[in-house]
Amino acid sequence: MTAVKLRDLQHQDKANVLAMLRDPKVMRFLGPRRALTEDEAALWFESALAHPARFAVADVDTDEFIGFCGVKQIDGVPDFGYFIRSEFWGSGIAVRACELAVEKLVADIDLETVQVFIADKNVASKRVAEKLGWQSTHSGTKGGEHGRYYRITM
């Protein structure tokens, strides 16, 4: 498995971030539930640089950008999420990135207030939550999709 770290988003990440945001596999359960256009992705990147929320996930050795993980305020609610470039899927990076993010966030945020929603069709993310030992609390709908809410545990 690739060893990962969390860091701030950097200008040199732009090409990899835009490629990820334009990947329909990555965006299937995020935001508008579709790949972003080049212009939308560029605006998203500039906004993320100016107003950092989630941590950038990067390779420990090469510093290559792999994805995002952490908490972002959405409609006034702290929302935990992650998204990883599809070429890194299936390698345990999402689980490790979530562990690192929770370790960093626990000092600053009451994890009980953090919302984690996983769509029913997002089988891979449900597996990540199970591996982390996160408990499903209730069913719900978000962005028109049915799914479950989870409680973050350490």
* Per-domain boundaries in the chain: 4-109
**What's the whole-number mean pLDDT along residues 130-135?**
95
Is a pLDDT exceeding 90 seen at residue 143? no
Please tell me the pTM assigned to this model.
0.94
Q: 73-80 contacts: CB < 8 A, separation 24 or more? A: 74/115, 77/115, 78/109, 78/113, 78/114, 78/115, 79/114, 79/115, 79/116, 79/117, 80/114, 80/115, 80/116, 80/152
CATH class assigned to 4-109: alpha beta
pLDDT at 96: 97
- Provide mean pLDDT across the span 120-138: 95
Q: How far apart are CA 112 and CA 143, in angstroms?
A: 22
**Maximal CA-CA distance, the chain:** 40
In this predicted model, which residue has the larger pLDDT, 5 or 1?
5
**What is the CB neighbour count within 10 angstroms for residue 109?**
16
At residue 95 the predicted structure's pLDDT band, cuts being 50, 70 and 90, is very high
Q: What is the DSSP letter of 23?
A: -
- Average pLDDT of span 117-123: 95
User: Is the pLDDT assigned to residue 57 strictly greater than 90?
Assistant: yes
Banded pLDDT at 129 (limits 50, 70, 90): very high
pLDDT at residue 154 greater than cutoff 80: no
